[in-house]
Amino acid sequence: MNWREPIRIFSDPTPAGPVRRGLSIQARVIEALMIREAMGRFGHENLGFFWLMGEPLLLTLGVMIMWKATSYNHGGRVAIIPFALTSYSLLTLWRHVVQRSVRAMRQNSSLIFHAHIRFLDILFARALLETIGIFAAFMIAYVPLALLGYVPKIHDPLALCGGWLLGAWFSFGFGLVLAGLSEISDAAERLVGPVMYISIPVTGAFYMVEWLPPTAREIVMWSPLVNAFEMFRSGMFPAEYIAEWDAPYLALCAFVLTAIGVPLVHYAQTHVEYS
Partner 1 sequence: MTERFAAPSPESFLRRYGLHLFTFVIPVMFSGLYFGVIASDRYVSEAQFVVRSSAGVGLDSAAALIQNQGQSRATDENFAVSAYIRSRDALDLLVENENLKAIISRPEGDFLNVFPNFYSRNNKESLFRYYKNMVSSTIDGASGITTIEVEAFRAEDAKTLNETLLRYAEDFVNKLNARARDDALVYSNLQVAAATEELAKIENRFTQYRNEVGMVDAARETASTMESIGRLLLELAKLQANYEETAAITPQSPSLRATQERINSLHGEVTRLRGRLAGGNSSIASRLGEFEKLALERTLAAKTLEQVELSRQKARQEAEQQHLYLQTIVQPNLSDHAKYPRRIYYFVATLLLCFMLFATLRSLTAIAAEHVTR
Binding mask 81-120 for partner 1 (x = CB under 8 A): ----------------------------------xx-x-x
Q: Is 103 exposed, middle or buried (0-12, 13-18, 19+ CB in 10 A)?
A: middle
The backbone torsions φ and ψ at residue 116, rounded to the nearest 5 degrees and listed phi first, read -90, -5
Kindly state whether residue 18 participates in binding partner 1, applying the rule CB under 8 A: yes
Cβ-contact 33, 122 below 8 angstroms? yes
Instruction: Name the H helices within 185-223.
Output: 186-198, 214-220
Crossing angle of helices 157-184 and 247-268, rounded to 10°: 30
Q: How far is the CB of 14 from partner 1 (least distance, A)?
A: 12
> In this chain, which of 71, 73, 215, 270 binds partner 1, going by CB under 8 A?
215
Report which residue type is found at 79.
A
Query: What is the Cα–Cα distance from 37 to 128, expressed in whole angstroms?
Result: 11
Spell out, one character per residue from 252 to 271, where the chain touches partner 1: x when CB under 8 A holds, - when not: ---xx-xxx-xx-xx-----
Which one, 149 or 214, has the nearer CB to partner 1? 214
CA distance 66 to 64: 5
Nearer Cβ to partner 1 (186/218):
218
Contact window for partner 1 (CB under 8 A) among 3-11, 135-143, 229-237, 242-250: 3-11
* Interacting residues with partner 1 (CB under 8 A): 1-3, 5-11, 15, 17-19, 21-23, 25-26, 29, 115-116, 118, 120, 213-215, 255-256, 258-260, 262-263, 265-266
